[in-house]
Structure 1
């Protein structure tokens, strides 16, 4: 189950950057975020009711309110918003710094994390691998950096910190509820937090529903079913059963998947430098998990 959960988070989340940009062709960012998470949260809550799980828990709802807003409304919401105008390579590189924030913000485990040399080396190597993977696009994007892009970079850093902090909070405050119930509440509350932005920015009035292309509807359907229900549920469960530093490796592997999908389905070209980057990233994941392999041996 752990292997399946990691594979789901690695592969599915690696594809969501592409589908977010597709959905943004016809939908505005706050509207997209609210539709995605309210729909997925409602589906998961109905599933919990069908299974007769205990859903009314003050502790679970309180935890979900904090983590849902930190992870989905702030962390993922910023990614959705900046993908309107920032190159995907720059977004991917900035977001890939998340594992570093996991280590820096996880104060109770500082001694354990910083004493594990392979973990620290793996984090550094992984970020270098992402730079190699997107180095050529990054150089081309530097000429296009303006004040809006700088603001976007700052927001992405805040979003990565919020995502890491919310994940660590969820891991440190177990509620006793099932991962499914926790996930459902997080999505519902996170989705509701997008709603004020819809009306403050006038997105509802500016949306021409008849003009939204089919590709946008199919993309948001994919984000609801796969990006949220499948992958986010797997991520929440992994935080309960595996160390946060290991779970955070998704941020290094997602760009790898994105490049592989681009080569396989969009006829994109992969360079020798990118192949080297892929190898370096996979090496970093091995290093981050090396201590676990040693214990198993």
Structure 2
């Protein structure tokens, strides 16, 4: 009986850990699918503000405490700027120039940044295999985000022709996704400080609302016809991204982030591009280049190494000890 209960709890815990990454991956596909009918900043705002209201409503029903004091609101405001306005703004703008699957892979390089920041700020140990994983990740993200011509020149020519327009680089979807990844990584680390002064679930709701307001403001200034061309399927896609891809996914993720090991939890985002690439190929017919597929593979390997670094180290230590014992016996 106890074994059955333990298995049931373990299954529920695993599903809870996986849920945000499944929802984020599928939400990326939904957002990409509706972008032809709306504008990026409006879509980003829609994804945040209604989701924030929903999270606050649920937290009110659960009687979770509201933020108290200037420090709580300052940390929530910083959190809103980083993970709300900047992350969602860069993400939505980047989706106009890149695919949902590829964009998800680039964004989910953020565990590499989180690992470094957590090591520096919270003394979380990266270890040998973690550093190896970081190296794989940097190389993988380079293959995904840098121009294909650079790697073709490196492989097939004796010289590398690095010619690009700075404005084109700034407007590239890959760079915007990398900026989104950086924003989310810093926001993920920020939640540790936020949770010292406010309930993490309530803070998540407020950061969505506060982060979404400037996105609507920018949409009002620079965009037009934000909702005129959205059909029923488009509104359903926006609704899915808002309720499931934001309210539920972020509520679960930042609650877990406030309690557990940031490096290990954040590294589970390797699941997000798997879901995004799968559903992007299924619904949007997205195809990656051979270099990008290699980059995707290296990135997933790197995040696996970071997430499993302690287990790998212990297993290798056990095998080394066992080998030494057997050697002495013979």
Q: Would the TM-score normalized by the shorter structure come out above 0.5? A: yes
Checking the alignment, whether the CA contact within 8 Å between 1:86 and 1:149 is kept in structure 2 is no
Distance apart, 1:217 and its partner CA: 0.6
> Structure 2: where are the runs of 5+ without partners?
1-11, 153-163, 316-330
Query: Equivalent residue for 1:165?
Result: 186
Distance apart, 1:281 and its partner CA: 5.5
Q: 1:32 to 1:176 in 2, by over 3 A?
A: same
Which of these residues, 5, 10, 28, is aligned with residue 21 of structure 2?
Answer: 10
Q: 1:2 to 1:183 in 2, by over 3 A?
A: farther
Query: Equivalent residue for 2:200?
Result: 179
Matched, 1:230 2:248: yes
CA distance in 1, matches of 2:284, 2:179: 31
CA distance in 1, matches of 2:44, 2:121: 32
Distance apart, 1:166 and its partner CA: 1.9
Query: Equivalent residue for 1:19?
Result: 30
Distance apart, 1:16 and its partner CA: 2.2
Matched, 1:47 2:47: no
Structure 2 counterpart SS, 1:241 = coil
Checking the alignment, whether the CA contact within 8 Å between 2:191 and 2:200 is kept in structure 1 is no
Checking the alignment, whether the CA contact within 8 Å between 2:39 and 2:226 is kept in structure 1 is no
Distance apart, 1:227 and its partner CA: 0.5
CA distance in 1, matches of 2:168, 2:269: 21
Q: 1:273 to 1:6 in 2, by over 3 A?
A: farther
Note the alpha carbon deviations across 1:258-297, whole angstroms, 9 max, x for none: 2222455567789999998777655444422334547999
Q: How does 1:1-297 map to 2 (within 5 A)?
A: 2-58=13-69, 59-88=71-100, 91-106=103-118, 107-109=120-122, 112-113=125-126, 116-126=127-137, 139=148, 149-152=168-171, 153-175=174-196, 177-201=198-222, 203=223, 206-207=224-225, 209-263=227-281, 283-293=301-311
Q: 1:246 to 1:200 in 2, by over 3 A?
A: same
CA distance in 2, matches of 1:158, 1:259: 20
Note the alpha carbon deviations across 1:161-184, whole angstroms, 9 max, x for none: 222112112213423543321211
Checking the alignment, whether the CA contact within 8 Å between 1:22 and 1:215 is kept in structure 2 is no
Distance apart, 1:40 and its partner CA: 0.7
**Pair member with larger Rg:** 2
Structural RMSD (CA): 3.6
Distance apart, 1:251 and its partner CA: 4.3
CA distance in 2, matches of 1:26, 1:270: 24
Checking the alignment, whether the CA contact within 8 Å between 1:130 and 1:255 is kept in structure 2 is no
Stretch deviating more after TM superposition (287-296 or 8-17): 287-296
Q: 1:147 to 1:214 in 2, by over 3 A?
A: farther
Equivalenced residue count is: 289
Q: 1:178 to 1:126 in 2, by over 3 A?
A: same
Q: 1:96 to 1:124 in 2, by over 3 A?
A: farther
CA distance in 1, matches of 2:211, 2:116: 25
CA distance in 2, matches of 1:194, 1:249: 28
> Structure 1: where are the runs of 5+ without partners?
none
